[in-house]
Amino acid sequence: MIKVIKPVSPFDFSKMLRRVSSAGKNNIVHVDMDNQTYKRMVHLANRPVLFQVKAIGSIDEPELEVEFPETLSQREQDELLVMVKRMFSTDIDIKQFYSQFSDHRYIAPLISDFYGVRLVTDPDLFESMVKIITGQQVNLTFAAVLIDRLIDLAGEHIEHESETFSVFPTAENMASLEYGQLRELQFSQRKAEYIIDFARLIASGTLDVNSLWAKSDEEVISSLLPIRGIGRWTIECLLIFAMGRTNVLPAADIGLRNGVRKAWGLEYQPSEEDVRRLAEDWAPWNTYITYYLWESLAVEPVIKEG
């Protein structure tokens, strides 16, 4: 079955796919640049469901075809379409961002370079948190290797029309693991504890991650900050890369600071305080300015918890 989504323009699906295809290699997401398609499996109604998103419009008149199994109920179809819209930030009126900063000496060039680029987020808050924790203090390539190993251990690999799709583990499956099993995969002891303990909080019902969607950014931070191993930077990444929030400023992030140094032509490495001072007029688009500054760096750096 195919449904059509019309994102708010401008919407550069090609640039967004290129970013996804470069962000670590594994079989969770299949990107076909020639055919402009994005495929992956997600958990829906307690089972893995394959969907495909294909661009059929232009940057200024965008349309996306979303293809999924005809066996989905109407409720499941609606849930999937909401997920896809959220993942590709289709309803964000990015023209407001562009208008606000059209004359900004340092931000306007970023808008020109990344015109139409939106956040592409993870479909699931648990999956995103595990990826964020896994990626701390390691490079993208090794982080992807660790995620592949995690899927081999607790997830699934499903064949569909000669393609193999990796399905990320559920919180319930992860909660049943022991720390030593992740240590055998080359996770550090602390990361093994943080990931499995987080999964157990969800599986036991102690933490309702879906309730976070209705909370403000600060409420999300307040809800998650008491959890061992989850600091402010980790939550800020979740707000950006899973929840698609548009006004998050991870000022301590070394990648953002490197981007500011490059874009502003600074001869020194800006501090967290420097970034906050420069960003005093960025609201309500802190996330997108941050994202475009990250995009401006040829290679994404290793990011450490601040």
In contact, 246 and 214? CB cutoff 8 Å:
no
> Per-residue pLDDT for 138 more than 90?
no
pLDDT attached to residue 306: 37
Q: Determine the CATH number of domain 99-117+245-306.
A: 1.10.1670.40
pLDDT tens across 13-32, in order? 999 998 887 655 567 999 99
H helices present in the chain, as ranges: 13-22, 74-87, 94-100, 108-113, 125-135, 140-154, 171-175, 179-183, 189-203, 217-224, 232-241, 254-264, 272-278, 286-295
From the number of C-beta atoms within 10 Å of its C-beta (0-12, 13-18, 19+), residue 280 rates as exposed
pLDDT attached to residue 298: 62
Across the range 191-212, mean pLDDT stands at 97
pLDDT confidence bin for 305, thresholds 50/70/90: very low
Q: Where are the domains of the chain?
A: 2-91, 99-117+245-306, 125-241
pLDDT attached to residue 34: 93
pLDDT confidence bin for 141, thresholds 50/70/90: confident
> Per-residue pLDDT for 301 more than 70?
no
What whole-number distance in Å separates Cα of residue 39 and Cα of residue 32?
Answer: 9
pLDDT tens across 50-68, in order? 999 999 999 999 999 999 9
pLDDT attached to residue 25: 56
CATH top class, domain 2-91: alpha beta
Q: Determine the CATH number of domain 125-241.
A: 1.10.340.30
The pTM (predicted TM-score) of the whole model is 0.91
Closest CA to 158 of 38, 42, 77, 23: 42
Across the range 192-220, mean pLDDT stands at 97
Average pLDDT, the chain: 93
pLDDT attached to residue 179: 98
Q: Are strands 47-55 and 64-67 parallel, antiparallel or unpaired?
A: antiparallel
